[in-house]
Structure 1
Amino acid sequence: MFLLRLQRLILQNFRNYTFLNEVFNTDLNIFVGKNAQGKTNLVEAIYLLGLGKSYRTNRDSELIKWGCDRALVNGMVIRNFGPISVEIRLDNSKKKEILLNEIPNKKIQELLGHINVVIFSPEDLELVKGSPAKRRDFLDREISQINTGYGHFINMYSRVVYQRNNLLREIPKNKKLIDSLNVWDLQLIDLGARLVKKRLEIIKKLGILSRLMHRKITNGQETLELKYISRFPVNETYSMEDIKEVYSRELSKLREKEIYRGITLLGPHRDDLGLFVNNTDIRVYGSQGQQRTTALALKLAELELMKSEVGEYPILLLDDVFSELDSTRRKFLMDVVKRVQTFVTLTSLEGLNISGIKQEYCIYRIEEGSIIRCDSYGRVKKYIEGYP
């Protein structure tokens, strides 16, 4: 089976890295170091190559090394149809520049789908019990990588909501503006229906895969079900026209309330992903163990969904999650890792069970923005025994 592989990563003045030029020869790459040494920064750089933005901050300036004006992240990836190079240039004085196969001035929408990545971090354990926004982001990030047009519609929809909210706040001051609301409603309904329709399709597929993963982790004792929760009634059987019709009808009922509050109250920007285990809403009533099992099942299902949609597995980024999982979940996760190129960050090798790893791997020690490869078994053994 062919794997999507990150072959080379180059960093210049990125976070705490002055310069890095590393070639990755194995599918399992393990980064070990104390906190605040640069492990997560490496993972963040790989994520940036895939989605064009950080998962830790919305401010690109925070990605540039302190005291520097610009930074660079460059990656060479091998896919089943050939190599792809992505370079992202960050500058404090201007907007970031994206180069795809050395062609500059690319938009994020053009980047999506070329280097697919799935990240699992301690923050993702909040996916279940966190806010609906976290689950919407999870869905939208997944869909954007397998359907490049989706990201474009997300941006258009967000602009419409922003403009419509501005108009709603102005209407109480000028009643004549209410006629303009009809124009924005049409755009909101058209774009919103597209997003809802695609989310329903993906949740159906993701639901099947996550249910299988969840049953394996729980030895068949629990059943996970995903549901799309909207403020207007829809389900996977609805056509686009059905969704638009219901959306339009329910939106009209809220007009006075929206004008009073000055915000758009209906649409995919307010929807949620329902998570039910044995018919219990575990977002509210699940134990911590159930919530973590569900988060893991969702992430592993995300891998399989990408494989089924694009024909190859994405790169998997595991950022300090092993310390948050018990031995059963760690073992299950490591079994899945065999199928994908994986980058793991750890503060300690304890609990990883190096001797039980069946595939080729490489361990790197991270210290103050420097990376040290531990190639030989002797060095690895010494490293394991000598590192606290």
Structure 2
Amino acid sequence: MYLKKLKLINFRNYQQLDLIFHPKINVFIGDNAQGKTNILEAIYLTSTGKSFRTNRDRELIKMDKDKAYILVEGEKRYTSVSVELKLEENKKKQIKVNGITLTKNTDLLNNIHVVVFSPEDLKLVKEGPVERRRFMDMEISNIRPRYCHCLGQYNHVLMQRNNLLKKIHHDRKYIATLDVWDEKLVELGTILILERLKFIHRLNTLSRLLHRKITDSKENLEIKYIASVKDIAEEERISQSFHRELKKMLEVDICRGTTTIGPHRDDLVFYVNGIDIRVFGSQGQQRTSALSLKLAEIELVKAETGEYPVLLLDDVMSELDMKRQMFLIKSLRDIQTFITTTDMSLLDSIRLGEENIFYIEKASVKKKNENIS
């Protein structure tokens, strides 16, 4: 698929912006803090309904305004698609797909598929488990809307259970109602774990092949899912093990006022040639692994949907050495790609016409010889 146009009103630092995109590569060049990433963020919002930078919708609305608007129009393999978002302070965002208002945000998924790659993703291997869980949740939701819905329910049940644990800590009479929340937590958590295991299995296969290509077959990448639930061999055993672990950790959970078992505590470990690269790997190995993951993610979306997603590269080129830059560029031939950068020389290896390049300064966007918009 590819995106044709974008319209913004009072989004971030843009009062009004109308852009027509190239179906292959689009480059946004300018100094830092001019508004380049804001354009990528708007595109990502039309795919997921969420930002990859903030959880607060108010930050997306121009500082002196109380509402914002985003419109994206694109072409899929068999149909056209348009997505509109209206953001208003202290109100739920309004979403329309092809002019039809959505009642649930999760219905937005599967309309526009987007993969974002930023410098933060290069830190995925060495950062804490929160970032790796976020990676799994975002990427699985992108191809499995059911997962996103289940994750929301799980987080709600988890919050309710944690609140109840705090009450039990002060008064044991509340413990009688804990089983209800445990049952629901296990039901939803088992679904999440199963979906993650399927995702990691497929990601492992693709990322291993890509990693070997990048490293000239010198390195083998392996990703392992580390679950707090001990037995994750099959659905019934996950559920039974989850129940047992919750009971085993009950007094600890009551004392801490939080749930210590479940997919919200799980993690990923990355091995290169059998070595845990978070602990013992070089920065180069960590970054190559992150690049392999992102490229594998693109292929996963293609396998699930039948067409490549839109790729957003947010100031990531400067973080890669020349060899990794070249491998990434060669991988983009069939993918509409949006690139932000402060240094055009980083893209010398890409043959670009002026129709592919947008110059940005203080939320003003133009092509060469065009008036500022």
State how far apart, in whole Å, the 1-side matches of 2:46 and 2:107 are. 12
TM-superposed CA distance for 1:173, in Å, is: 2.0
Q: Secondary structure of the equivalent of 1:62?
A: helix
Partner of 1:139: 136
Give, as a single letter, the amino acid of the residue that structure 2 aligns with 1:313.
Answer: Y
CA contact (8 A) 1:27 1:361 kept: no
Alpha-carbon displacement from aligned partner over 1:344-378 (angstroms, at most 9, x marks no partner): 00101112124x438996111111112112389xx
Q: Aligned pairs, how many?
A: 370
What RMSD over aligned residues (CA atoms) do the two structures have, in Å?
1.6
- Asked if 1:159 is matched to 2:159, the reply is no
Q: Aligned residue for 2:210?
A: 213
Which of 302-311 and 243-252 deviates more? 243-252
Q: Which of 173, 176, 182 is the aligned partner of 2:173?
A: 176
Partner of 2:359: 365
Other structure's SS at 1:374 match: coil
1:340 CA drift (Å): 0.5
2:300 aligned counterpart, secondary structure: helix
Where 2:344 maps in the other structure, the secondary structure is coil
- Determine if the alignment matches structure 1 residue 341 to structure 2 residue 336: yes
How far, CA to CA, are the matches of 2:364 and 2:121 in structure 1?
27
Structure-1 residue corresponding to 2:68? 71
Distance 1:26 1:361 in 2: 11
User: What is the CA–CA distance in structure 2 between the aligned matches of 1:262 and 1:66, rounded to whole Å?
Assistant: 38
Name the counterpart of 2:248.
Answer: 253
TM-score (norm 1): 0.92
Q: What does residue 226 of structure 1 align with?
A: 223
Q: CA deviation at 1:93?
A: 3.7
1:309 aligns to 2:304 (yes or no): yes
Structure 2 CA distance for partners of 1:81 and 1:359, relative to 1, 3 Å = farther
Give structure 1 stretches of 5+ with no counterpart.
377-388
Corresponding position of 1:379: none
What is the DSSP-based 3-state SS (H/G/I as helix, E as strand, rest coil) of the residue aligned with 1:221?
coil
In 1, distance between residues paired with 2:305 and 2:101?
25
Pair 1:329-2:304 in alignment: no
- Rounded to whole Å, the distance in 2 between the matches of 1:285 and 1:374 is 47
Q: Where does residue 385 of structure 1 map in the other structure?
A: none
- Quote how far apart the aligned CAs of 1:182 are: 0.8
Percent identity, please. 50
Query: Secondary structure at 2:71's aligned position in 1?
Result: strand
For normalisation by structure 2, the TM-score amounts to 0.96
- Which amino acid in 2 is paired with 1:264? T
Distance in 2 between the 1:232 and 1:363 partners?
Answer: 49
Matches within 5 A, 1:266-281: 266-281=261-276
- Contact (CA 8 Å) 2:4, 2:23: kept in 1 or not? no
Q: Deviations over 1:43-99 (max 9, x none)?
A: 111111111011111111111111111110110121112011111111114221111
Show the counterpart of 1:190.
187
- Give how far 1:105 is off: 4.1
SS at match of 1:76: strand
Do the aligned partners of residues 325 and 298 (structure 1) sit closer, same or farther apart at CA in structure 2, a change above 3 Å counting? same
CA contact (8 A) 1:282 1:291 kept: yes
User: Out of 362, 368, 371, which is 1:374 matched to?
Assistant: 368
Q: 1:227 to 1:234 in 2, by over 3 A?
A: farther
Residue 288 of structure 2: aligned partner: 293
Distance 1:374 1:13 in 2: 25
Q: Provide structure 2 residue ranges, at least 5 long, that are not aligned to the other structure.
A: none
